[in-house]
Amino acid sequence: MNNMTNSPLTTSLLIAGTVFLTIAVVGQARLGFAEINPGCFGRFLALIIGLFSLTCAVLIVLFPAEFVDLIRNYLVQEIQQNLGFII
């Protein structure tokens, strides 16, 4: 579990989600020479992207690749065994 929380993908998704949610909440902001003015649709899109990024990061931590592979292999094996019943 500790290896998954330190993966670069999880960290990138967490940072991206936080940035997009900040843009969605703050809206119009001036940061020195940069000005962020996303408008209504831009704020909504930033909210959707931010929530999606944070959800993906949480799912990566909760369900590591080994767990997903285990479920996938089990389902493939069950489908192969019961292929006669499916057809």
Q: Which residue has the higher pLDDT, 62 or 6?
A: 62
| CA separation for the pair 19, 54 (Å, rounded) | 11
pLDDT digits (tens, 9 = 90+) for 20-29: 999 898 888 7
1 CB-near residues (< 8 Å, 6+ apart): 61, 64
pLDDT at 72 over 90: no
Q: Residue 19 pLDDT > 80, yes or no? A: yes
- Alpha carbon distances (Å) from 37 to 18, 26, 31, 68, 82: 17, 9, 11, 40, 56
Measured in whole angstroms, the distance separating CA 49 from the mean position of its chain's CA atoms is: 9
- How confident is the model over 47-62, as pLDDT tens digits? 999 999 999 889 888 8
Assess contact for 13 and 53: CB atoms under 8 A.
yes
Using the Cα atoms of residue 67, residue 73, residue 76 and residue 77 in order, give the sign of their dihedral: negative
